[in-house]
Structure 1
């Protein structure tokens, strides 16, 4: 290997349609939902469900939502991803080559890894942009990286960052964003809403049979649950609660974005928002700490849909805390993760 060989840093996020048109949204949904780690049912059943039910009927509705989200520059998730790529490259300097890839659609993971290969990197550090590990997100990135690299004759050293849900810069960056909003208005409750996953996926990840069946064991990270998505979400919440000085009863943890009829991890955010409003809570400050960039699940689902639901049942105001997006401290965390790897 040449002494001038560099280290590649590969940032990977979930993905986004190429445009908010119905055909592009349908194409994106098919690729995303056909991933066996996302909908973990037998292939034939999954293929029929996606191609005969979800993609045909959900695509037009999703396209309308994406049109609300879209900006003149394109999809916010892609815009922030490209900004992060450039920012991290500037921060790391010439010894590194930083590339962005999307697990689904463009820029593709295959394209990004091929560019690193052509650059002759001596090592590739993959950073999935998901704070908490889940099979359907980080696990899927692991699988796709392995698939792509298995076709290479010569494979560089490889390191994949599993999670960063507990890192100080991650916690403090969100808390700093919230502090700006707290100066403008008094909030009587804080909501931490995470992307949901099916309960069966959490239970399937319990190789030793020690899972507490989604009970109180998630209240503390231990060697037995350290890879559990739900436990990592609880830990992120605990760290943010401590940093904000919140007391018991002043905050709630919940899970959003469920799909289908199966049981997902609870409590559900839409149920929690309704219950808080009916109990007399008037102003909610809402975090989405499973996302590092504002996207459909934050800007539309939390900031619009849950806000409307909250007001409909008696609440007055629900405010979304902006995600990390292109915040300087977020890029510093990416540098920290790179150097640690």
Structure 2
């Protein structure tokens, strides 16, 4: 049994590397409310500039990218008036290769299928990817099938009790093994437990368990437990301000920690400050930064600046007060 478990762990990792963690990931349309151009300045002195145009409804129609002053790519976007299709074509100027993508929607933000193609300058196809989505009459996602070079590569199936997702299974084409996620909720419909299994014909192995504690409709604690190998427990705690916005997040694993504080100015996020003493990866969605080298307790800050209209015009990243990246947005109204 031990040998099967060891093999299950490795097979699971191979499977996990090819599957998304988020079982409900979709491909939303790009919708904005103003025209802008963005300049991104990195610490090595190279500038990346994107000039973008939008239609009367604020949807992106064009983007031209520059790397250190030289044109790098041109991308055009097409949105149907009814919102049922969205497509783009990107030309990479250096090697003359082309990416194309088209998404068809069941309703706004709910995809039916998408297709991506990659071409060489002579028209030869480099690769293709796509996905098809199936829903029930109530609009709940039942199945997602991913394709690569015309062949199905991954299939995901979803099962519900009422409106709540209780199970998701993922299986690579041609594989007898699969991943299964099981979800459990409290009486209010809040997710309180998720379990991740690796299943093959020999055995079913519990890989991970995540527990959630809720208060006033917000997650205040989360425990992420590895069930095999090192069997480590990651602990997360969250607090919120009077408006229900995230205020703090702390992640701990033994003596390793990452602490995030969120500072607001009016209705806008002004700064995120993160203190950490380890490069340990914490499996969490909040931006707990992962540094290349950690010496003692370090501080990472992301600072947001806005113009008089309240629109974002600059984002800066600092490590221990050393500027790393600066993102500037020049808006045209």
- Whose relative contact order is higher, 1 or 2, with alpha carbons under 8 Å and at least 6 apart? 1
More strand by share: 2
- Using structure 1 for the length normalisation, give the TM-score: 0.25
Give 1 or 2: higher helix fraction. 1
For the pair shown, which has the larger CA radius of gyration, 1 or 2? 2
